[in-house]
Structure 1
Amino acid sequence: SNWLSPDLTSLGKPSPAVTLVDGLPEDHNPMTQLSPISAMSSLIGSDEIRERQQNLMKMIDKCSYVGRKSNLVLISGSSRQHMADTRIPSSQFKQNSEFIYLTGFTSTQSSDCVLALIGGNGEPLQSILFAPFEDSVHQLWDGNDMREHSVWINSICDELRDLSKLNELIVSEIPHKQLFVSRSGLNQSNGNNSENCDKLSPRLTTHLNLNTNTSIHRVSPFLDQLRAVKSKAECNAMRRVCDIGSQAILNSMVWTKQLSEHSLVNESQIAAKFEFESRVNGARKISFPTVCGSGQRSTIIHYGANDQFCATDDWVLMDAGCEDVDGYNSDITRTWPINGNFGTNRLRNDLYEALCEVQSDLIAAVSSDSMMTLDLLFKLMCDLLGKVLLEFNVLNTTVSAQEAASLAHRFCPHHVSHYLGLDIHDCPSVSRNTILKAGHCFTVEPGLYFHRNQTLIKPEFKGIGMRVEDDLLINSEGQIEVLSKGCPHKPNLI
């Protein structure tokens, strides 16, 4: 589908007309560019944001260690970043996904905000957004502050207050409340899995004068459980951003073939092409630094230099994703020959086709097994890759099928999957041993990396790296949707 078209039939129904209040949409994410173009229109309404807040507080209220107290939840937005030794804003700002989930705000303008949710134990929910109220000098440099978005804020919160007033709320509420804090408000050195922690991040500590008896709980496990199952609107957002990402990679693949016919191709050019195609089709930015490794550099999983020229017969591995206006992300990997000719290197081509078959078998397993988990999928990947190692006689020693499956993890040292959504590695506290169900969105990404320093493999395989990664969604009917299918990966389709 073409997301630059106003036609939204692929989402089910066209978007309703937007009612403007004081020049702003009455029920619309303020971060959206006010445009009829569907790729740049928010799909998450204020009713859904309010429902998320309510669901979070209900879930916390049912927790056994909360007791009879009501609850105070603090969700910190990310801090504004600047270039070294300047006040020039960094272009790399990434809003805290938990803050996005509960407010809808994604841009730098919403940096340094704190959302306070109060309620539970019979108390109705009270939602207050604290934001820095800037003076005219700051606004001259950085633009209007969050008061500009009062229409949206009033639709998702009960009140907007100056950030300087946050401590007053804390002092009045903390003696009677259980305190829950988001990941970004905690000192991460305490680890991510502790249910209770006692250290806050320096930024949030400045607003909290807590006595030593105050218990601080992590709110992230509750939010991760909610975020793991995507709503109808979120599913549409994932379809859209994966469609944009797929088209951007496909256009990059076609472009490299055309460019290679009359010029050397640099990895940085391919990465830049992907970002351009993503943005021109509606993405706000790329989701993470693009990996674009050609030749032997394709064996470096987190290669990021992207600064080498590709040989005319090189293959390139590109791991890339983009983020939409609502903060949702795609994450797609393709491997292809720069010149578009898969038949030039028969060994590499056959190995690549075998990897594609492994991925097809993995997706089929998700479709056919109602008890499938990501960890079971990983075990299956190792078994299948072990068979590939034996079939292609990759190893320089004789091993059994069981031994080959065990060795497969050495040549594909990452997991086969992770959850996907507002974060690339979404919902980290949700176990990969969770049974997959409707609303789950995740990747399937088998790979093989034969580094030149590997001693277990034959010389002809050294320097070969390849991965195929697609984004999957289990829809409301329980069917598997390959959201990134717009970019083919099998040689005959490319």
Structure 2
Amino acid sequence: MINLFAKRLLLSVQSPHELAKHLMSSSTTFSQFSPEISTILKSTAVECPAEDQNSVPQLTPISAMSSLITSEEIRERHQNLMKLIDKNSYVGHKPSIILVSASSRPHLADTRIPCTHFKQNSDFIYLTGLTTSQSADCVLALIGGHGEPLESIMFAPFGEQMKQLWDGSDLREQSPWINSICNDFRDISKLKDLMSTHSPSRQLFVSKSGFNQTNGNTNSSESCDKLNPILRNLLNLNSKTAILKMSPLLEQLRLSKSKAECNAMRRVCSIGSLAMANTMGWTNSLSQNTIVNEAHIAAKFEFECRFNGARNISFPIVCGSGQRSTIIHYGNNNQFCSPNDWVMIDGGCEDVDGYNSDITRSWPINGDFGVSRLRRDLHEALCEVQSELISAVSNDSMMTLDLLFKLMCTLLSKVLLDFNAFNITVSPQEAISLAYRLCPHHVSHYLGLDVHDCPSIPRNFTLKPGYCFTVEPGLYFHKSHAMIKPEFQGIGMRVEDDVLMNHSGRVEILTTGCPHKPNLI
């Protein structure tokens, strides 16, 4: 009976939370299943480095689909945000009302057909733990500050029966979770009543998702006409009401990850690493028997991410072969690869808690690094540059991402001079400037609930425990670079790993499960 149940469950499960609920809330164990099912459940087990006893010791299909963020931590985040707003009060010592909007569910063109990929607003995830489309168009309200007790209210669209027939059950299905993180749970139509009662006497803060996406200025406050139409219609505010931006303050909290968040980052990076490693091995074997298309490789990576526990991919996969590897944001992924081509793939995945990985690897399609000695040597040099950059983070307690970028340009300039890549005479100082032209992106960005996490936080902050970030040196010899010798033109490569400064002050490379050096692939 249990074996039949397991087979049906594996085929019919609707969400990661549902699988966890069925398999973790009961006394069910791997040993209760048949060898066939047990093998399926254990097949993706990967060691996960542990910093504390509460970490995930092993990655399995069950643990990959189980939330690591507790309701107690969510409640603590509410309190921390309100304290930070009180500390940075803009208008005297008035209490505040904070509105955090969820993303809207996108639809295909002008139809009512919902898109399968739903990306929740990261601020909303951080303050609610909700990632799925069930929470689309919701609003979290936090009320209090300056001596008032904090009250949290979730507003959600309560769908009619016919709408639920089309779209599935609404957020009321998750009432136990909502009640554990909020004081009240109301229909979205009641938000206007709350605002008419509280807004005149309070500072009003709104998350970035509540503003028009075209509004990119850095002002600390905005007028009502800058709100997105959905929220503006819900609030019905006076046109002169000043609206303060909440997200820059919240990102100060999000920047340093808690121990539970660090474990979530370890988990999602393990999933991404396994997916990338399996994709690399697959292309090597596939290329021996058939012609490989970039679309095959991108699809394989996405399949491996989802198969091993990811909820989504983090961003559109970049998979460029041959000369297309010099296009940093190439995304067509539709060309056939020549047998001796190298490919560069930039991809990542999102876990059940909304945290993201971001990995880039470059390798020869057929797995033979010896076909092009120049490419192999350049790749080895690039890997060595990355190793030196990560060592610099470990050895310098005052390191920042901007300082790391300057060091990258210096190290790449030495590589370019050692390889005699220029067809003109270049001084060491000029080589540093040219290195930036050949790697025109930053060496790092913060990583977390967004791939480019906490965008309002400068990259000149000293790296501290809890910070997670990428290290990604690259070289792109586009055919338009006239100062580069012909044999280098058309070569593009990058190596990108995800790094955590853990709570012990130690640097962890979270993506070591995916090798990049030729002798390890």
- TM-score tier (shorter): over 0.9
Cα deviation for residue 269 of structure 1 reads 0.7
Among candidates 407, 420, 431, match of residue 434 of structure 2: 407
SS of the aligned residue for 1:429 comes to: coil
Structure 1's 5 and 12: CA in aligned 2 closer, same or farther, altered over 3 A?
farther
Q: Which residue of 1 aligns with 2:120?
A: 95
Q: Which residue of 1 aligns with 2:403?
A: 376
Is 1:141 the counterpart of 2:162? The answer is: no
TM-score by length of 2: 0.89
Report how many residues are paired. 475
CA distance in 1: counterparts of 2:212 and 2:109, whole angstroms: 23
Alignment of 1:66-465 (within 5 A): 66-198=91-223, 199-465=226-492
SS of the aligned residue for 2:320 comes to: strand
CA distance in 2: counterparts of 1:3 and 1:435, whole angstroms: 40
Structure 1's 491 and 192: CA in aligned 2 closer, same or farther, altered over 3 A?
farther
Look up the equivalent residue of 1:100 and give its one-letter code.
I
SS of the aligned residue for 2:508 comes to: strand
CA distance in 2: counterparts of 1:151 and 1:286, whole angstroms: 28
Structure 1's 157 and 192: CA in aligned 2 closer, same or farther, altered over 3 A?
farther
CA distance in 2: counterparts of 1:9 and 1:300, whole angstroms: 34
Cα deviation for residue 189 of structure 1 reads 3.3
Does the CA contact (< 8 Å) of 2:98 and 2:142 recur in 1? yes
| Higher mean C-alpha deviation, range 182-191 or range 464-473 | 182-191
CA distance in 2: counterparts of 1:15 and 1:227, whole angstroms: 19
Q: Structure 1 stretches of 5 or more lacking a match?
A: 17-34
Q: What's the CA shift string for 1:161-200, capped at 9, x where partnerless? A: 1001111111111101101000100123332421112221
Q: Which residue of 2 aligns with 1:31?
A: none
Does the CA contact (< 8 Å) of 1:3 and 1:244 recur in 2? no
SS of the aligned residue for 1:265 comes to: coil
Q: Which residue of 2 aligns with 1:22?
A: none
CA distance in 2: counterparts of 1:225 and 1:50, whole angstroms: 17
CA distance in 2: counterparts of 1:323 and 1:90, whole angstroms: 17
Look up the equivalent residue of 1:373 and give its one-letter code.
T
Structure 1's 406 and 308: CA in aligned 2 closer, same or farther, altered over 3 A?
same
Look up the equivalent residue of 1:432 and give its one-letter code.
R
SS of the aligned residue for 1:484 comes to: coil
Does the CA contact (< 8 Å) of 1:261 and 1:339 recur in 2? yes
Q: What's the CA shift string for 1:250-290, capped at 9, x where partnerless? A: 00000000001111111111111111111111101111111
SS of the aligned residue for 2:166 comes to: helix
Cα deviation for residue 305 of structure 1 reads 0.7
Does the CA contact (< 8 Å) of 2:61 and 2:308 recur in 1? no
Cα deviation for residue 345 of structure 1 reads 0.3
Q: Which residue of 2 aligns with 1:492?
A: 519
Q: What's the CA shift string for 1:73-112, capped at 9, x where partnerless? A: 0000000111123211101210000000000100011100
Q: Which residue of 2 aligns with 1:30?
A: none
Structure 1's 10 and 280: CA in aligned 2 closer, same or farther, altered over 3 A?
farther
Does the CA contact (< 8 Å) of 2:61 and 2:309 recur in 1? no
Is 1:60 the counterpart of 2:109? The answer is: no
Q: What's the CA shift string for 1:126-175, capped at 9, x where partnerless? A: 10000001110001111111111110000000011100111111111110
Look up the equivalent residue of 1:330 and give its one-letter code.
S
CA distance in 2: counterparts of 1:481 and 1:5, whole angstroms: 20
Q: What's the CA shift string for 1:202-236, capped at 9, x where partnerless? A: 11111122224422111011110100000000000
Does the CA contact (< 8 Å) of 2:476 and 2:493 recur in 1? yes
CA distance in 2: counterparts of 1:42 and 1:307, whole angstroms: 36
| Higher mean C-alpha deviation, range 319-328 or range 212-221 | 212-221
Does the CA contact (< 8 Å) of 1:323 and 1:329 recur in 2? yes
Does the CA contact (< 8 Å) of 1:128 and 1:158 recur in 2? yes
SS of the aligned residue for 1:160 comes to: strand
| Higher mean C-alpha deviation, range 194-203 or range 311-320 | 194-203
Does the CA contact (< 8 Å) of 2:49 and 2:266 recur in 1? no
Does the CA contact (< 8 Å) of 2:48 and 2:270 recur in 1? no
CA distance in 2: counterparts of 1:11 and 1:153, whole angstroms: 30
Look up the equivalent residue of 1:472 and give its one-letter code.
V
SS of the aligned residue for 1:366 comes to: helix
Cα deviation for residue 396 of structure 1 reads 1.3
| Higher mean C-alpha deviation, range 78-87 or range 109-118 | 78-87
Look up the equivalent residue of 1:339 and give its one-letter code.
N
| Higher mean C-alpha deviation, range 450-459 or range 460-469 | 450-459
Does the CA contact (< 8 Å) of 2:413 and 2:432 recur in 1? yes
Cα deviation for residue 10 of structure 1 reads 4.6
CA distance in 1: counterparts of 2:276 and 2:130, whole angstroms: 27
Does the CA contact (< 8 Å) of 1:7 and 1:14 recur in 2? no
| Higher mean C-alpha deviation, range 191-200 or range 228-237 | 191-200
Structure 1 moving runs of 4+ over 6 Å: 6-9
CA distance in 1: counterparts of 2:391 and 2:455, whole angstroms: 25
Alignment of 1:6-21 (within 5 A): 10=50, 12-13=52-53
CA RMSD, Structure 1 to Structure 2 (Å): 1.7
Structure 1's 244 and 11: CA in aligned 2 closer, same or farther, altered over 3 A?
farther
Does the CA contact (< 8 Å) of 1:190 and 1:197 recur in 2? no
Does the CA contact (< 8 Å) of 1:197 and 1:217 recur in 2? yes
Structure 1's 321 and 211: CA in aligned 2 closer, same or farther, altered over 3 A?
same
Does the CA contact (< 8 Å) of 1:60 and 1:222 recur in 2? yes
CA distance in 2: counterparts of 1:461 and 1:359, whole angstroms: 20
Does the CA contact (< 8 Å) of 2:105 and 2:133 recur in 1? yes
Cα deviation for residue 457 of structure 1 reads 0.7
Cα deviation for residue 14 of structure 1 reads 6.9
